[in-house]
Structure 1
């Protein structure tokens, strides 16, 4: 396999990417896959990557994918740069984590953007996503799969029903645009990857 596939990622709420820089003529190819989510515990985001690894192994084409879950290879916010630089082959992460380099990515994680599964399918083929994927491709990354995962607001104090119920709460969101919206509603923002939310709610 010569230097064909540069990098692959999936857009939207969770990104899956593959990068194969360099060459391997008639030899087995081993790719590194990284994500921040728990491994082997049924997490849908981990399972997305594990399916790719299993299918690659089952195809018996000399391709092995080693999955590194739980941010054991790269920190969550470092994965985009690692792919662009050819240090990482496959990743699953919220695309908004790369909004520091591409602010447009923040639009993929705003609340209310996707209403249901049918809407998500239409959005995947929309001019909006065409623009997002062009940015991804121009960075040397290719989309493997689109994934929109359901989300919601949770609080240890009171039910979140609207902007008024956000006032005074310490909140977390995945990206700067989302954080700006929460701050505008009167909340204090604590930045952390989603893998640390459970611990954050307990402390």
Structure 2
């Protein structure tokens, strides 16, 4: 009898081992990459981490490993990687891919968004449906929308009216802002936001514009004298969605796909609530560091918008197939 019990116990242990081994083999590991600092409160990293936690909690045989801080792919390499299925998930500033798909410059067009409420309305507009159709045709899908407001900062002085930009070398996120700033008399230094700090530290840059989140997480308050916060007249809004490889997504089973999409919805809701606090966090952080903080007046904003319409808007409509229609669709969202 005891021998029979030992055999049963051995059989149960063996079965448990086989089941455990099968479960381990069934577990699918996805890799998520982005350029933003991890573990320091950057809202874009937290979006991706939240998706990873939610997917793990769903217990559908999926694990998402998150690689922050450009540790897996360099910033500009992520688009090619995710659309080719070499990378599973990324939080990605879409305008970084505008060299391949110039339509994406519309997602970082000066003055086109204006505020967070309008950004939310844009997500379901014909404008964004056209942008997302391009994303999907190239091999990726959007699992969470995200719009970030942004600011200007300089080592030399405050950037308000266009004439305050003359003679400064500025890092501008994307071709549309570069065209507007160059038209105002600035020189352009192109680089990912993760390289702004070293650019300022080495004297390559005098100024930069980027998202409020990046101004804090990259500690740019250590390099600048004056910050121009978005305030009521925000020129800078950028679309930075969480993307997933379409091929990888379609290779998952129905429960796994459902878990990914549900996690994306939760991450988007979290982001939409928290991002509005980001501008104030940036202002408080920079003031605490002794940096002067100002805002553009309505007159400053209007002067910049006039320059943008004669440079960035005009060039986009002329050079990008369907560009004029995209701008019209965005402007039609009230």
Distance in 2 between the 1:168 and 1:198 partners? 20
What is aligned with 1:177? 176
What is aligned with 1:117? 116
Say yes or no: does 1:28 pair with 2:27. yes
How far 1:107 sits from its partner (Å)? 1.0
Alignment of 1:89-128 (within 5 A): 89-128=88-127
Say yes or no: does 1:59 pair with 2:54. no
* Larger relative helix fraction: 2
Secondary structure of 1:172's aligned partner: strand
TM-score (norm 2): 0.52
Alignment of 1:2-13 (within 5 A): none
Structure ID, larger Rg: 2
TM-score (norm 1): 0.84
Say yes or no: does 1:153 pair with 2:152. yes
How far 1:153 sits from its partner (Å)? 0.9
Q: Aligned residue pairs: how many?
A: 178
What is aligned with 1:3? none
8 Å CA contact retained: 2:84, 2:139: no
Q: 5+ unaligned residues in a row in structure 2: which ranges? A: 1-24, 203-334
8 Å CA contact retained: 2:36, 2:69: yes
- Deviation string, structure 1 residues 139-192 (Cα, Å, up to 9, x no partner): 121111110111011111111112211111110112122212211111111111
How far 1:114 sits from its partner (Å)? 1.9
More divergent stretch after superposition (176-185 vs 151-160) = 176-185
Runs of 4 or more above 4 Å deviation? none
What is aligned with 1:132? 131
Distance in 2 between the 1:52 and 1:112 partners? 31
8 Å CA contact retained: 1:106, 1:178: no
